[in-house]
Amino acid sequence: MKIGIDLRVLDSLNITGLGRYALNLTKELIKFKEEYYFIGNVDRSELEYTKNMTIPIELPYGDIEFANKLLSLIGYVEDLDMMFSPFYPLPERRTFKGIVTIHDLIPLRLPEIFRNTGIYNFYDTYMRECAEHIDHIITVSNSTKQDIMELYGIEEEKISVIYLAGHSKCFNREDVGLAQQKVFEKYRINKGYILSLCTLEPRKNLTRLLKAYEIIRTKLKEEFHLVFVGGFGMRSEELIREIEKSPFKDNIIMTGYVPDEDLGVLYSNAEVFVYPSLYEGFGLPVLEAMGYGVPVVTSNVSSLPEVGGDAALYCNPYDVESIAYTIEKVLLSPTLQRQLREKSLERSKLFSWEKTALQTRDVFLKCLNKS
């Protein structure tokens, strides 16, 4: 069987959540016997090219209709049996089966943030049309499955829920050597810290986290950092303005994008990982933090309780006092910290990219075997 994978999400050197999904899933899928075709400007040393063909074509991000014409042509010329897209919509006019992953419908759930933007139109027009004509939809949580059924009117039988997995690289928390110290020096971290990792944008609710940090610092009279890891997203200037006004701004660190080799150090040594997002399709950083045995505080909305289970503590993301109280609860209790670390490690073992790939391949085969 010949299966094409739209890997344009890997065009960027610095990959984040979507790229991690596409890369880790593809690394596992190519271990199976099917013949895979990598579509897009893909140059990743992590992928083996020995039995897989690369089609190095420029698929435009901003012109979905033209990109779909190219995908239709590629599928026809290469005589593909199926095409899989880990994010972007696939063409309606095609000679092959089509499967797409819909990670979330957040712009439609939070229109006050995304209204009148290209990303809103992407979900309200292109993804909606794709969901209607595609052969099958993969999604990453039951929460998003319900959103797809409700907001797109898609029947349940057309949707499969397949969970993601955490970071594939390991880091030894006991390693206190020179390499670890260099990471701390690189990001100017010289004391204990609260860690949050995400693209800096309003949906991630970081302004409320900042206010919660100020409450905790005022109450505990103890110095520790608040570390924001992640690239700058839309309207990130709002957070920057609030940080500049903070009485504790000298202890607030914004690292920007962090390479994988540094992430393990930052995750593993955090006092607590906080992810107060207003809405998530899955919440991959929560699972990644758990994989490093970090106590996790996250929101009690959307998919996050589904991911964290009983291994995380939950707060109301719209209530600054609730965020502050939940974080403080972890900081003040060594016993709770130890319990959460143990639960986090156990919880993370339930997820793996191998399992994600096996379930994804099963969806492929069922779709191909349909008459």
CATH number of the CATH domain containing 187: 3.40.50.2000
Residues 335, 203 share a domain: yes
Residues 365, 343 share a domain: no
In a domain, 50, yes or no: yes
Residues 192, 137 share a domain: no
Kindly give the confidence (pLDDT) of every residue in the chain, 371 residues in length, as a single tens digit, with 9 standing for 90 and above.
899 999 999 877 667 778 889 999 999 999 998 999 999 877 776 776 555 688 888 898 889 999 999 999 999 999 999 999 999 999 999 999 999 999 999 999 998 887 667 889 999 999 999 999 999 999 999 999 999 999 999 999 999 999 999 875 544 545 556 678 899 999 999 999 999 998 888 889 999 999 999 999 999 988 999 999 988 877 788 899 999 999 999 999 999 989 888 998 999 999 999 999 999 999 999 999 999 999 999 999 999 999 999 999 999 999 999 999 999 999 999 999 999 999 999 999 999 999 999 999 999 999 988 74
In a domain, 170, yes or no: no
Residues 273, 226 share a domain: yes
Residues 211, 136 share a domain: no
Please tell me the predicted confidence (pLDDT) of residue 139. Answer: 98
Between the CA of residue 26 and those of 30, 44, 221, 240, what are the distances in Å? 6, 11, 48, 36
Residues 332, 191 share a domain: yes
Please tell me the predicted confidence (pLDDT) of residue 201. Answer: 87
Please tell me the predicted confidence (pLDDT) of residue 317. Answer: 97
Please tell me the predicted confidence (pLDDT) of residue 169. Answer: 53
Residues 318, 188 share a domain: yes
Please tell me the predicted confidence (pLDDT) of residue 260. Answer: 82
With 0-12 CB in 10 A as exposed, 13-18 as middle and 19+ as buried, what is 296? Answer: buried
In a domain, 275, yes or no: yes
Question: Cβ atoms within 10 A of the Cβ of 165, count?
Answer: 23
Residues 229, 186 share a domain: yes
Residues 293, 196 share a domain: yes
Q: Any idea what the Cα angle at residue 54 is, between residues 52 and 60, rounded to 5°?
A: 140
Please tell me the predicted confidence (pLDDT) of residue 312. Answer: 98
Residues 280, 204 share a domain: yes
Domain membership of residue 319 as a residue range: 178-348
